[in-house]
Structure 1
Amino acid sequence: MGARATINLWNPAVVYPEVSFSQIWLEAGPEESLNTVETGWLVDTVSYPRNQAKMFTFYTGSRYAPNNLLLPVSIYDGPQVEITIAIWKDQVTGDWWLRIQDENVGYWHKDLFTHLKGPAEAIHWGGEIVNTKPRVLIRFGGASYFRHLKFLDDGFIERDPVNLQTFVTKPNCYDLLLYMDPPGTFGVNFYYGGPGFSSQCPI
């Protein structure tokens, strides 16, 4: 019925026409008619030339809505900046709500969806890059992380995810380290990222 995480904020070094995301997304339905709701931060050199992290929301109706610039961001070997994001389904209306830093900021109406009129069938936390060039130049930042990964069960109870599956499309370019820390620390968390193009990541 929902998901939450605290996400480390960065301004990864990207150049046109590259895009770098860190996001939470929930999905339901088969691949040919998949429904998703997604939110997080991105640096998008295609639509928004200023190289600055921004909030974004997305759903499978192809509506794309950037929000405010995110300032400040984390500094390598310096202060770390975070944002806590949650997506949850209202048990009365069936709408999907977006919550940022303990404030409800908006929702996706249930009528936007077919499969997500019911519960989400999968939850994803992670990063993504988009690059039309043959070489992967994009950085994810320095030791970016998600912490306090949570999901809402059918009883609207927040729980730690178990049996998580990790997936890295280019392990020579990027890495992901999953940890199950005790409550009161980072909880379920992972570090991810990498430098992109290098001698170990030639294409």
Structure 2
Amino acid sequence: MRPTIVPKSVDDGYIPTTEKEHFTMAMLNPINCPLGTVPIRRTHKSDLIRAKSFTEKFAAKIHPQTQFTPGRHQAIVRSIFDPKVIYKGIEAIFSIYKPEVKANQSSFAQIWIEGGPPNARNSLQAGWMVAPDLYGDNNTRSFIYWSVEGNPKRGCFNLLCEGFVQVDKSFTLAYGGLLAPSEYDSKTQHAIMNQIYQDPRTGHWWLRVPSLNVTVGYWPKELFPNLAGGATQVVWGGQVFGQPNGASPGMGNGHLPDGNFRRASYAVQMKVVDPNLRLVEPGGPYYQMESFADNSNCYNVQYFGYKDHYYGFSFLFGGPGGQNCGI
């Protein structure tokens, strides 16, 4: 299956050249599966055990409209809820880093969309993460995730259970592939570009990498009854998880934003997909955004709105975490 249509930008489709050149991901090594087939990662029993435990803990905590959950912190830019505003997708370029993360901790940089009432939220997410409890190591890896709240609560990371359907025969973004991290204050900033959008004809939700013109795969519409007409919430940014009474991990590159795009994690060229399947910038008056950080001593976000043609709508985020970030 292929998308029946892809979003079109209302501007010149500009993508920063630097980000395109340094989209360096280890899983981009050619796999070259035959036409009509897709790569399948060898999954061990230990992978499934870790995934089940990690997903249960993760799903119980994540919600972009929740401002406080013990052990969880956010530094994000999110849409201000308006039931009349519908989002058909989201896009951004994120710098890649490798924050310090220990056992029982995880750190994310991601896009996500949500829709539905508070007790039945449907969610789609994509980005990068460091999660030793899921992957068994401290490397930076790509991830995708879907969830449906309710009874029972369902969700899945990557391709470790039902949900996402891979269609690309060589690209392994959906498998938790290794990502090459950036160096602090370096001219070379490795980055990843993700796009999630809804096909208006089939209703399926597609994952694409526009900078590489790659369509990775889709989440079937049947999974998400409360996203049938689109999403009501879009979010960009970082979040971390730790023990409620323990130390919190680093977010982004472990540094608080100071206005310099080389010295903190960034999200640039933020876009949303409107009901006419146009990629547009998330600015007013129709689209209203706000920044949010629950503990500015440990993590913060510096939102610029529209900065310039190179960065577009953008922000910096991250922080060192530590022992005194609050329960």
Q: TM-score, normalised by structure 1?
A: 0.93
Measure how far apart 1:49 and its partner are. 2.1
Runs of at least 4 residues off by over 2 Å = 68-71, 180-184
Whole-angstrom CA distance in 2 between matches of 1:28 and 1:124: 12
Select the residue among 78, 90, 94 that pairs with 2:203: 94
Partner of 1:42: 129
8 Å contact kept, 2:307–2:314: no
1:124-139 superposed matches below 5 A: 124-139=235-250
Once the two structures are TM-superposed, the CA of residue 198 in structure 1 deviates from its matched residue by 6.4
Question: Residue deviations 1:129-155, cap 9 Å, x none?
Answer: 110152333111141010000001111
- 1:113 Cα offset (Å): 1.0
Greater strand proportion: 1
- C-alpha distance in 2 between matches for 1:94 and 1:183: 34
Separation in 1, partners of 2:206, 2:326:
41
Q: Does the residue aligned with 2:155 lie in a helix, a strand or coil? A: coil
Identity of aligned residues (%): 32
How has the CA–CA distance of structure 1 residues 160 and 171 changed in structure 2, closer, same or farther, with 3 Å as cutoff? same
* Residue 77 of structure 1, CA deviation: 1.8
1:68 Cα deviation (Å)?
4.0
Counterpart residue number, 1:121: 232
How many corresponding residue pairs? 202
More helix by share: 2
Unpaired segments ≥5 residues, structure 2: 1-87, 148-153, 159-173, 256-263
Asked whether the equivalents of residues 52 and 69 of structure 1 are also in contact (C-alpha less than 8 Å), the reply is no
Partner of 2:320: 195
Secondary structure at 1:176 match in 2:
strand
Q: Does 1:160 align with 2:306?
A: no
The range that moved more, 13-22 or 53-62, is 53-62
SS across alignment from 1:119:
coil
Q: Which structure has the bigger radius of gyration?
A: 2
User: RMSD of the TM alignment (CA)?
Assistant: 1.7
After TM superposition, the score normalised by the length of structure 2 is 0.59
Letter in 1 for 2:136: P
Contact persistence 1:178–1:191 (CA under 8 A): yes
- Who is 1:67 aligned against? 175
